[in-house]
Amino acid sequence: DTEVTQTPKHLVMGMTNKKSLKCEQHMGHRAMYWYKQKAKKPPELMFVYSYEKLSINESVPSRFSPECPNSSLLNLHLHALQPEDSALYLCASSQTRDTGELFFGEGSRLTVL
Amino acid sequence: AQSVTQPDIHITVSEGASLELRCNYSYGATPYLFWYVQSPGQGLQLLLKYFSGDTLVQGIKGFEAEFKRSQSSFNLRKPSVHWSDAAEYFCAVGLNTGGFKTIFGAGTRLFVKA
């Protein structure tokens, strides 16, 4: 059983829609991450939050907007996405940013039509 | 530039046979090293990690990995593969250069035949 929970598991949206992906962890971790994974590729880092502050933004387009309401929750707001944004979006957490070991959720499969 | 290389895109192994997945990294110092496994449509799960100390590391599900500094390698092994081991395996390097960052290899897809 994963201790990082992501919702929804599947999302289909049009290019004009606004939607959000949600992630929750109850391990007391202070770092949370969003990764994007295309088929047959490794995960690519999008954002890192450390102690609820954005610490890494890997030059992700502004149509992706992260939010960390508290230490247990991480959201990814989606607006005006493109079909090439279709991917598996993975949330992860770690004890702190420097502890290295990542705990992943099962992912949200996003399809943009 | 730092990099992680997994030379085998896919490997097929018979059930019960031994397994070795290769991983090489390029980095000036000894980084943190990880192996993750991903079943289809799932997230990644940590199999094992190396930070320092004993260079032979034991992980979950009967996996082990050996760090060889001279070869900049961190190969994953399992003495007897089960059909449920079929998955994608990612080697990863953790670097602390102005903030910790994890770099993943391209992955090796493991197929297990009966």
Q: How confident is the model over A12-29, as a mean pLDDT?
A: 94
Query: Chain A residues contacting B, CB < 8 Å?
Result: 2, 4, 6, 40-43, 45, 55-56, 88, 90, 92, 97-107, 109
The string of pLDDT tens digits covering residues B7-65 is: 999 999 999 999 999 999 998 777 899 999 999 888 999 999 999 888 999 999 999 99
CA A89, CA A76: separation in Å to the nearest integer? 9
Q: Which of B1, B63, B70 minimizes the C-alpha distance to B34?
A: B63
**Structure confidence at residue A2 as a pLDDT band (50, 70, 90):** low
Q: Give chain B's mean pLDDT.
A: 93
Phi, psi of B65, deg, nearest 5: -145, 150
| Chain A, nearest residue to B35 by Cα | A101
**Coil, helix or strand at residue B98:** coil
The string of pLDDT tens digits covering residues B52-99 is: 888 999 999 999 999 999 999 999 999 999 999 999 999 999 987 777
A55 chain-B contacts, CB cut-off 8 A: 99
pLDDT at A99: 81
* Selected residue with higher pLDDT from B28 and A40: A40
Query: Chain B residues contacting A, CB < 8 Å?
Result: 32, 34, 36, 41-46, 49, 51, 90, 94, 96, 99-102, 104-107, 109
Rg over alpha carbons for chain A, rounded to the nearest Å, is 13
CB contact under 8 A, A45 and B105: no
pLDDT at B55: 92
